[in-house]
Amino acid sequence: MVSENSPAPDFKLKGSDGKMHGLKEFSGKYLVLYFYPKDDTPGCTTEACSFRDGISKIKKLGAEVVGISNDGLESHDKFIEKYKLNFLLLSDPESKTIKAYDSYGNRGALFGFGTLRKTFIIGKDGKLLKIFDKVHPEGHSDEVLGFLKGIA
C-alpha cells in the first residue's frame, strides 16, 4: 500500500515517444503521475485536456506530467493526436505499475475492475508528497496546480 511521505514505486514502462521510462529520470523535478481508465473516454479526455491546457503553468513550477493507463501505445498515439496532448503517456498493459500505486480496483457495477482515477505528486527526491484518491476530471489540474504552488 502506497502512502504519502513514502518512496514512490519505481516503474519501467514504454511511452508514447517510443522509449522506456522509469521514475529515476524524473529525479530533481516534481512529477505529476496520473492514472486513468481509458483513452478517449469522456472523463479521461476532460482530465487529459485539462492537464494539456495547464501544462505551461505546471512546468514553470518545475513539474512534469505523465499519464498511465493500460491502453496500448497505438491507442495512446491516437489519443495524443486527436486532442493535441503535450505530455507523455505510458502504457501499462499488464497493470503492474497501476497495481503498485494502488490504482486498480472495483470501479462500480457498470465498469467492474480496472484502473482507478488517481493522481500522485512525487517529490524531487522520489517520495510521494500527495495522493489524490478521489479525482474528479473537471478542474483536477487546477487542484494539482494549487498543491504545486504550495510546495514549489
- Catalytic positions, written as ranges: 44
Classify the phi-psi angles of 84: left when phi > 0, otherwise alpha if psi is within -120 to 50, otherwise beta.
Answer: left
Beta strands in 36-122 (DSSP E): 63-69, 88-91, 104-106, 113-115, 118-122
Q: ∠ CA 92-88-46 to the nearest 5 degrees?
A: 90
**Residue position matching grid coordinates 479526455:** 45
Residue 117 CA to residue 82 CA, distance in Å, equals 21
- In this structure, how many other beta carbons lie within 10 angstroms of the beta carbon of residue 103? 27
What is the separation of C-alpha 18 from the centre of its chain, rounded to a whole number of angstroms?
Answer: 18
